[in-house]
Amino acid sequence: MRASLIQIAVDPGESVESRRQRAASLVREQRGADLVVLPELWTVGAFAYESFETEAEPLEGPTHEAMAKAAADTGVWLHAGSLVERAPDGSLYNTSLVFSPAGELVRVYRKIHRFGFDRGEAVMMAAGTELVTVPLPEATLGLATCYDLRFPELFRGLVDAGADVLVIPAGWPERRRAHWTLLAQARAVENQSYVLAVGSSGTNGGVEQAGHSIVVDPWGEILAEAGAAEEVLTVDLDMPKVAETREQFPALKDRVLGLGAPGA
């Protein structure tokens, strides 16, 4: 399965509509890929909190329209990264959209772990509540977003639901890039799955983005890694390797579930 990771630059000097059309053009350039993935909140910038309210859009808004058409024109499965969704009740969500090669919206994932502690996304956005997987002809995707990467129990749930490729769009900051690489490899090793972690480049909200999108195999080996600038990574995933890894080193079978707190 061929995957293309589009590490797009997110800078305040470009309008949202301009970047939307540029992202659609970049998707169309990936003809021949099976799966294309964009980063988190690439329309506005993951740290551009002041733009969340003004640039929020309904689920089937302009980003949906542009990405659906790009997926259909290119004939790819498209994980369109995430956008600031305004729900019918007015709540904001950090929402990922996945489109089929026909341009149909097949899955929606609302980010569960919101970053910011007592500010930014954590107070401006509502939390998602559902684990989401996407069955493709050659793989099952497990969806997560950025800060989710720090919570291994989420990924265990995705693997239990059948995921063998973990897809993580992000707007990860450069100052914590070492954690990005470490955690991507850890999630691959402990779940014996491919990890596709897609970052953005540029600076938004005064925060320099890490870039360095990364593809990790089920043994934890880095198959490809981008630099800091805008870049597209294209990698062929050997999907039988997931089953082979899990058979050769069956650690997942040795999980002990249901452990409670230590006794008094």
Taken in order 176, 54, 121, 150, the sign of the CA dihedral is: negative
**Number of Cα atoms under 13 Å in the Cβ half of residue 10:** 33
Residue with tokens 């955690």: 183
Q: Which of 39, 11, 45, 14 is nearest to 26 (CA)?
A: 39
DSSP 147: G
Distances from the Cα of 121 to the Cα of 47, 63, 146, 175, angstroms: 8, 20, 12, 18
List the catalytic residues.
40, 111, 146
Provide the CA 86 distance to its chain's centre, in angstroms.
Answer: 19
| Residue 171 one-letter amino acid | G
Residues 15/51, Cβ–Cβ less than 8 Å: no
- What the block records as the tokens of 111 is 């980010």
Beta bridge partners of 197: 168, 214
In our burial notation (b when 16+ CB lie closer than 10 A, e otherwise), range 62-99 reads: ebbebbbebbbebebbbbbbbbbbbeeeeebbbbbbbb
Neighbour tally for 105: CB within 10 Å: 17
